[in-house]
Structure formats: structure tokens, C-alpha cells
Amino acid sequence: MTLPETAKIPFGGDYNPEQWPEQVWDDDYRLFDAARIDTLTLGVFDWALLQPAEDVYDFTLLDQIVERASAEGRAICLATGTGAHPAWLARAHPEVTRVDFEGRRHRFGQRHNSCPSSPVVRRLSAELARRIARRYAGNPSIIAWHIGNEFGGACYCDRCAEGFRDWLRAKYTTLEALNAAWYTTFWSHTFTAWEEIEPPSALTEHWRGPDHTAFQGITLDYLRFMSDAMLACFLGEKAALRESSVEVPVTTNFMGMYRPIDYHRWAAHLDFASWDNYPPDDCSQARMALTHDLMRGLNGGQPFWLMEQTPSVTACRDVNPLKRPGVLRLWSWQAVAHGADAVLFFQMRASRGACEKYHGAVIGHAGRSDTRVFREVAELGEELDRLGGATLGARTPARVAVLFDWDSWWALEISDGPSRLLRYQQIVLSYYQALWEAAVDVDVVGVTADLSRYDVVVAPALHLLKGDLPERLEAVARRGGSVVTTFLSGRVDEHDQAFLMDVPGPLGQLMGVRVDEWDAREPEYANPVLLETPGARLQVDSMLIFELVIPQGAETVGTYQADFYAGTPAVTRNAFGAGHGWYVGAGLDQAGVTWVVRRVLESHELVGPYADVPGLETATRVTSEGQRLLFLLNHNNGPVDCTAHRAGVDLLSGAHIECGQPMRLDARGVMVLRQSPGGTDNQIHPYG
């Protein structure tokens, strides 16, 4: 992993001067100066421009664009231009368009639309990347390569079917192994030739859409294959770039919690992670924090780039609310607080036509600088300039980890039973929300991550267990840590076959329980759960899923209050080694999840000093010199008051803060406190 080397946080974003005559560029650079925009992502959708016909390449305009940006002293994140394929390509090679889930061969249109298995797509996209690198690699303004754009979706064409069979041959070697893994004795599915295998689609194993499959094993493997097929496209372009650019770091923009692509399968192949933050609404602070932490976790905890965010509005949703004054700044600092080493926008200048003409931009159609949005961008630019390199490379000293696993996500949501209403992201988010409210630093990591540095590991809905994960979770508890898991964990192996043992399978010893039966109910139904530990007691509701838990050594922490299982355990805690395994068998409401998580954090003295100040978020980063930076983010529409738990200097205002001093953050206010050494901060952890 290598991040681009910069002296400060790169600030700027996607810029498409190819849409404009050159005199507009003059205005743009004047405005970029005014807003201190120092970094431009160029050429994301330039394929048709750069290659107007199969045997014709034309870099005239991109040369001018790159030359101008360099001459203006901007750093460049240069794209390979393959975010959308050209119309001539679809006409000349109809195989390059995708076949959708219903089996319809698409024709030319939209973007992100190439079949990932098409040899023509792979050859020509790599060739374009090769030529771009050959042409521009010597330009010192280029600090990063940006491959494609937001890889995603799926294809079900015949070439993908062939690719799938090859992928399966490599994975299983024999049809016997494949038949065993997919459990094909069921419903007379035994495959006797590789050619019989079909992509799981609406025409084959699925009904009612991508989540309803007759064979989870087949669908799971297709999801993995598709993720790998797109990765192969990425790698083809990366290898082509590397032929003439050995050192400039390579990335592609991820989409956070994006189901179709297993970013953990991709992570090792990127030099650094970057992502596009477009939350569904304006009250998703914890969700954004979770996603930033997930993206940071891809890099083994190294910083990432915030590649895109809108300065004001999106355009693609049915209703596109405006970011209120101060939100652009607040959310940018939130990204930095969670490990972003770049703050970039989509986009610098608003497109005049097509579907993004109403998408927010730093510069609108009238080209004015006296707009609220431009002013806020410029103010942030100034602030980032003042901050300089103080945060760059700083790491998050988390002692709490949340496990996030695409395989579990897929397996849970393509499962028939016990409930279609259980959604992986929501479950993970409710546990993360509880941690967020406790103002504790969290790493969100994949299931192969090193868990030895954590005191608490929270693994919500860890449905699918693979490798040595159960042993590594046991090791966390054995040395005194706490492991929290929930209903529907430890159910299936990597092929989505049930473990032939009591639920929760290989987690049973650690949790000290067995799950005998499970009940699922409509969302209107709630079963109250009484939560009780010495000194804490709360009755909450549980919904959707109710596992009937029989302790095998665990003590009961929560008890169902209704139905024939009233009085039986819903939440348990098991002493294991020097630590504990917590099992939450019921779909607790947020108050219940928060209660359980709080008890766990308290047992490790990990509740943050700013816990429970409503709407106040904190996050810590520690620089390579060991300097602690505490970010305080006020998500409220009004001011918030708290008390400094340590002395420090606010890097944004220069204010000196004494320990115990009352602090007021304005509505949507931000502080970045460089804390004095010493003190008794329970979140300090030496970074290994």
C-alpha cells in the first residue's frame, strides 16, 4: 500500500474541461485559485474522445487538459477513461454490452456497461490505459492513477458463463467436488459436464429477483466470480499502467457498502483505497462513519482518499436534498477524522446537459464565485491550507473492531428463511451506531484481519464462517477480550452448507450456548426482552428474529418476556479464557443493542470521554510521531456543549483548551484538537 505523496490534504475533484471551450478553462482556473483547489481528477469518461475508432487514438485534447492543469500547478489524478465504453465499440463488437439478470442483451447506452469477461473489452481497456501511461507517466503532476469508475453491476452473457465455468474449474478441479459443494443431490441438480453449468439468473435458479435462489452455493460462487471478473479488468489496466509507470499509486473509486463487489477481495490489488460518499439522506452520520471505517480497514488501517462527494446536491435520487450550510465542511472533516487523506468533490463544474446537469458542483452553470456553495468550498480550501500536513498518514488507534464480511452479507440475504426482512447492513449499522454513540474509535475489518490488537470484536450476523476465524475469535476472548455476535451467526460454511452441529456451529464453545429453534415474525410484532446485569437493567423490544437459546455454560443477560419462550434467554454472556463471548439471539431494537454494547465497552473501560453528547461525534488519529489528534464533530443544527477531557490546541481556530474547560461547538462545528501528551485516555493504543 502506498498513498500519493502530498504535503497537505489534496483538495479538488472531478473536472471535465473536455465538455467546455477553452475560455471556460480560464474562468475555471481563476475560480480554482480562489477556492485553493489543488488537485484535479481528469479524464474519467474520455474513452470515446481518446479513441474515436478502433484503430485511431487521439490525445490532442487530453494533452491540452493535462498540460494546462500541470502548468497551473495542480496535482492530477489521471483516469484511464474506461468508465464508459464508446458507441462504435458496442456496434463493432456487440459482445461488449452486458446481458442482464433477465437475459436481455443490452445495446449501447449509459455507462459502467461493459461485460467484464469480454476479451475485446479487456484488450482495449488495457490498451487505452497502456497508451495513457506511456504518454503521461513522465509528468510529475500526476500523483495517482484512477482506473475505470465505480466498478459494479453484473453480466450474465455466454462469455461470462464460460468465464464462470473456468473459474469453477480452477476452484474445484473436479465436478465431484463442485457437486458436493453445491449440494446438487437436492432437486436433481447433479452436473455431469462443466458445460451444463449456467449463471444463476432469472432464467435459471432465481425467481423474484437476485435474492431468491434455489441454490445458494451457485449464487454465492457467481457473486464471487463476478467480483473477480471485474477485478481482472482492473488488474489488466493496472498491469498496462505499470509498463511505463512504476511508482505512481493506483486506485479505483469504491462505493462503500456496495453489495455486488467484495472489496476485501480487491483491497490487496490497490495501492490505496478511495471511495465516493453519497449517503442516502442527511441523517446518516453513523452510517458514513461506518463506511469510512470500512474503507480504511481495506488498507490495513492506512488512510484512504475521499474521491467524490457532492458539494451540494446529487441528481440521481427521486428527491435530492441540499446540503445545509456547514454540512459540506462537516462531512469533509468527518472523512478526515476517519482516515481520509484527500477531500475531493464530484464535480468542479456542472455539466450543461444529460442526467447530471442538476448535480451539484463547485462551479454552477452561471460560473459565479459569489454563491454559498462556492464560498463554503473556498473556506474549506483555506482551512485545509492552514492545516497543512498535520493529519496526513495518521492512524486510528482503535481497540474495537467490527467484522464486515461480504460472504456473510450475500449468504444472509440470499437465504430462504428464516426472514427476508433481515438486512445485513442494517444489522451491522445498529451495532456500529451503538459504538458511535459511545464515542469509541472503531476499525471495520474483514474476517481475515489480524484481531490480536483488539479488546472487543463485534461480529454482527456472522452468518458464514470460513477458515480459522472461529479459532481467532476464541483467541480474542482467551486473552481477556470480548467477542459479540448475534442471531444467524455461525450457520453455514463457505459453500453455504449448514454445519452438522448445534447452532452457532464453530462459535458454540466461545458463546457457551446452543440455539435449539428460531422464530421469525412480521415487523409489527415485538417480544419484550428484559436486559439485566448487576447495576444495569432495561426492558427493550426485540423484532423480526427470535432464537431460542439454551445456555451451555453461558449466563443469561436478557430474557424474552412473551410467547411460549417467555423467561428463556435472548442475550447471554459466556466466560471464556480470561474474556467473554456475548451472544445476542434476538433482533433487539436500537436501545437494546446500545445497552449490550455499552456493557461490553464498560467492561474494558472503553466508553469514550465524549459519549452520549447527542449529535457529537469524536474520532482519533495518531500521527507517526505519536501526536494525538482528536476530531470533534457537531452534527446538530444548534450548538453543543461539552467539557475538554484533556488539554490541547484546536488546529482550526488556534484556540488553547485546558483540561476540564467547557467547550462549545457551533451548529455543525468542528474542532481538531492536537492533544497534549499524558493524561489518562483509555483509547490510547500503541500502533504495531
Interatomic CA distance for residues 198 and 553, integer angstroms? 47
Contact status: 496 vs ligand GLA (CB under 6 A) = no
Taking CB within 5 to 8 Å according to partner kind, which of ligand GLA, Zn ion, none is near residue 594?
none
- Say how many residues touch ligand GLA, by CB under 6 A: 11
Cβ 165 to ligand GLA, closest distance in Å? 32
Cβ 120 to Zn ion, closest distance in Å? 11
Report the amino acid identity of residue 211.
D
Within positions 148 to 167, which residues make up the interface with ligand GLA, using CB under 6 A?
A: 149-150
How far, in Å, are 47, 121, 443, 603 from residue 51 at the CA level? 6, 13, 43, 61
Closer of 121 and 412 to Zn ion (Cβ): 121
Build a one-symbol-per-residue string for 624-643: x at contacts with ligand GLA by CB under 6 A, - elsewhere: --------------------
Cα–Cα–Cα angle for 634, 635, 641, rounded to 5 degrees: 35
Residue nearest ligand GLA, CB atom distance = 276
Asked if 447 and 466 touch (Cβ cutoff 8 Å), the reply is yes
Cβ 204 to Zn ion, closest distance in Å? 15
Taking CB within 5 to 8 Å according to partner kind, which of Zn ion, ligand GLA, none is near residue 445?
none
Q: Give the other-Cβ count within 10 Å of 641's Cβ.
A: 11
Within positions 316 to 355, which residues make up the interface with ligand GLA, using CB under 6 A?
A: 346
Build a one-symbol-per-residue string for 130-149: x at contacts with ligand GLA by CB under 6 A, - elsewhere: -------------------x
**From 205, 237, 308, 383, the catalytic residue:** 308
CA dihedral 212, 214, 216, 221 (to 10 degrees): -100
Cβ 19 to ligand GLA, closest distance in Å? 13
407-433 burial, b for 16+ CB within 10 Å, e for fewer? Answer: bbbbbbbbbeebbeebebbebbbbbbb
Within positions 540 to 569, which residues make up the interface with ligand GLA, using CB under 6 A?
A: none
Candidates 258, 278, 358, 499; binder of ligand GLA (CB under 6 A) is 278
Q: Give the other-Cβ count within 10 Å of 620's Cβ.
A: 24
Give the H/E segment covering residue 186: none
Cβ 579 to ligand GLA, closest distance in Å? 42
Taking CB within 5 to 8 Å according to partner kind, which of Zn ion, ligand GLA, none is near residue 155?
Zn ion
Build a one-symbol-per-residue string for 280-309: x at contacts with ligand GLA by CB under 6 A, - elsewhere: ----------------------------x-
Specify the 3-state DSSP secondary structure of 569: strand
Taking CB within 5 to 8 Å according to partner kind, which of Zn ion, ligand GLA, none is near residue 346?
ligand GLA
How far, in Å, are 12, 378, 403, 474 from residue 633 at the CA level? 22, 20, 25, 36
Give the H/E segment covering residue 515: strand 513-520
Interatomic CA distance for residues 50 and 18, integer angstroms? 11
Q: Give the other-Cβ count within 10 Å of 370's Cβ.
A: 7
Closer of 157 and 377 to ligand GLA (Cβ): 377
Within positions 409 to 438, which residues make up the interface with ligand GLA, using CB under 6 A?
A: none
Sign of CA dihedral 106, 111, 112, 115: positive
DSSP state of 109: -
Give the H/E segment covering residue 13: strand 11-15
Closer of 148 and 508 to Zn ion (Cβ): 148
Taking CB within 5 to 8 Å according to partner kind, which of Zn ion, ligand GLA, none is near residue 157?
Zn ion
Contact status: 28 vs ligand GLA (CB under 6 A) = no
Candidates 359, 491, 521, 580; binder of ligand GLA (CB under 6 A) is 359
Contact status: 258 vs ligand GLA (CB under 6 A) = no
Which alpha helices (DSSP H) does 544-657 contain, by range? 590-603
Interatomic CA distance for residues 598 and 437, integer angstroms? 9
Contact status: 314 vs ligand GLA (CB under 6 A) = yes
Closer of 15 and 404 to ligand GLA (Cβ): 15
Taking CB within 5 to 8 Å according to partner kind, which of ligand GLA, Zn ion, none is near residue 46?
none
Interatomic CA distance for residues 228 and 268, integer angstroms? 13
Contact status: 41 vs ligand GLA (CB under 6 A) = no
Cα–Cα–Cα angle for 28, 34, 40, rounded to 5 degrees: 50
> Is 474 tagged catalytic?
no
Taking CB within 5 to 8 Å according to partner kind, which of Zn ion, ligand GLA, none is near residue 278?
ligand GLA
Packed helices 424-437 and 590-603: angle between N→C axes, nearest 10 degrees: 50
Question: Which residues are at the interface with Zn ion (CB under 5 A)?
Answer: 115, 117, 155, 157, 160
Interatomic CA distance for residues 494 and 463, integer angstroms? 10
> Is 308 tagged catalytic?
yes
Cβ 661 to ligand GLA, closest distance in Å? 41
Cα 538 to chain centroid, rounded? 33
Q: Which residues are catalytic?
A: 150, 308
Residues in contact with ligand GLA by CB under 6 A are 149-150, 253, 276, 278, 308, 310, 314, 346, 356, 359
